[in-house]
Structure 1
Amino acid sequence: MSKRITVVGGGAAGMMAAITAAEQGAQVTLLEPNERLGKKLNITGKGRCNVTNNAGLETLLANVPGNGKFLYSVFSRFDGRDAMAFFEALGVPLKTERGNRVFPISDRSFDISAALERRLKALRVRLVRDRAVRLEIEEGTIRGVQGERGNYPAEAVILATGGVSYPATGSTGEGHRMAEAAGHTVTPLRGSLVPLRDYGACRELQGLSLRNVELTVFENDKKLYSDFGELLFTHFGVSGPLVLSASAHMRRFGQKKYRLEIDLKPALEETQLDKRLLSDFAKYANHDFCNALNDLLPQKMIPVVVRLSEIPPHEKVHDLTREQRRNLVHLLKHFPVEISGPCPVTDAIVTAGGVKTKEIDPKTMESKLVKGLYFAGELIDVDAYTGGFNLQIAWATGRAAGMAAAEQGE
């Protein structure tokens, strides 16, 4: 009789674990309470699904600031290029974009989840719409899973329930509760890749999107991170791709003070920007200062820049001094945003924190405390920067857990 394995969670890591275990000949049951598998997977990358990063071991590890060393073994056996080959073998053509981000050529995340579902069906994985409520453990060995609707005996269980971000997708923390009940330590959960709150100054810029700007993060006035791209001002602070990436580097709120600087004109050096200002000011020489920035800035930003520049709004442009112009140039290259903290973890794309890595075998993803219990994906205390690295963690840990669970005890 083939080995019985129950996988809890039908997201990226869970589907990969179920597929891998079934490919090894195991009899696999996949528990997922949602009507659709891969609910969170389908909304990643704005619905395009940044499947992985076209990278090898060293690059992958360099992009996992939280417990990256724990992933050395699984990444060395299944890196970004292996993930690409896996999905292309399932019939999903892929493309590589800026930063080696990998997407389906179709730009449809549903193509990824549909390919995984087809593979699950082909392997006759039993899909059950049920929510797991507790692990059945006897004498330190897993015996199965108790669900709301039934009992699922198993020789191995793979927990892949995700974190606590985007709870509407089903990530509500039940995996962490079951892990704790089994004796595991769950490190504090917080948001990574999360919008940021400011002290209220951004509110009047709400709805304004800035493209092709440079964002720099300072931790206690020390430069921490910098990147180009797009950001969005909101009623609570700032969001958008640049900000989500930056937030992953801001890991010590409460202990450190963070602030952002936005270079509104990154294509121009300060001397070039000064020449641009001189040209604009010549055109608007007889206008009030507050009416002389229309060619330079979005309309919504002008009152804020005027106020922060400390130049009287109705001072005539031809009366501005070189010092005032220099201060304006500095403001445009270093527009400040004081950060009060991250948004709640429920607003985050990824959960940082989770089941303590020291209690998990890094080669097999098996619990060191309960024989036959395995972990995969966001449930574990590992998280990465943007660029497909978090999904790569899901694929690599899911694959390792599925492989080891099917082999264990045989």
Structure 2
Amino acid sequence: MQIRLSSGMMHETIEVSEKHIAGILCPNTSSAFAPLDDNMIRNAINHPVNSLNIENRTTSSSKVAIVVDDATRPTPTSRILSIILKKLSGIGIPDQNISITIATGLHRNTTAHERTLILGDDVISRFDIADNDARNPIAFAHAGTITGGKEIYLNKRILEADIVITIGVVKSHAFAGFTGGAKSILPGVASQNTIHGNHCFYNIEYPRGVLGSCEMSATRKEMEATARLVNPFIVNVVLGDSNQIIYAVSGDVVDAHRSAVDFYKKIALRTFPEKVDIAVVHGGLAGSINFYQALFGCNVVKTTERPILKKNGIVILFAECKEGSGSKLLEQIMPTFSEPDEILKYLASNKVFDDQWAVQFLATFLRDIHIFLVSEGVSSEIAKNLKVKLFPNAKEALDAAIQTSDLDYRMAFIENPDVLIVNLA
């Protein structure tokens, strides 16, 4: 049978033997869920899950800290924010009592253009807005201590408020289970050292670093313990195929988040009947951008609760990676060591650094499976440095994978891993 693979502007149709295909997975269409209008979103905010509503948590003199996603998330922030700001105005809270912090975590600061896209010109002109400058220690203060004795430092803008309101989107995440909820606080508005403590080797190591499970994720547990220190009122949404809001919930940082997670699973969670020798992963926004993002395709088949790829199996990443590796860190560290285990030992015994998790995941994948990359954006030199096998097209990658597999090999085709959680049945 013929299967068409796509990633960004890169496309290829390959011929495969149907008897070896264990399954073809793509997200359940979200078209069955009608987009929410503003009244529906307002209703979700007015009826929070396991929390007092905003009116009962504020007065006209309250100081309000609103936390919003940065440009790495597709959150329709301005639309949700406008509803919240009207509510705060109706309570009598003046603009000068409201701050908006962009939850950049360790990401770069937002550009002026990105701020306009996220917030809109009217909001920018009216309110006190700032990024979370994680590497500036004077911007943070001690918020408390969580289980395990970890000291938590959060942005002073958050700690000085009477109420913290967060706006986020829920989708699957490589090691926190899902985005949204407490992630707006940690890493969103936390200090560099606090984020490093959460994104440490131990927490990221599978199965503590897991895709699609809040309960198994060590980072998620610490994020939620941290968020409890400021007791945020969250507004989280789930988006459809065209980034339209198809679900909205508000309230408690854990319980409301789980409500959104349960809804998201209706679209993303798929079960597979058997383990496979070869997984071909294509489609989705992440892989079209860079290799750093495309690695998520390996997580989908290898670091879920019940992964479908066998030990020493092969992932064929069909990923345009138009921006190349997307991580100078990966390019610098990976060639320094000859074996994945050496990299992992180094990471486990040294101080955490920014984006360490990507190096850790790649080294773990290279230890446990084989990565065959089909990409127009990654050069042969970069692929060599990253220790992945680069192929000019999917046919050659598939032929090579078949040659190294048993005669009765089984294959899975995974389309759009950005919004999939794949578990063994």
In the superposition, the TM-score normalised over structure 2's length comes to: 0.26
Structure with max Cα Rg: 1
In the superposition, the TM-score normalised over structure 1's length comes to: 0.27
Instruction: Point out which structure has higher relative CO (alpha carbons under 8 A, 6+ apart).
Output: 1
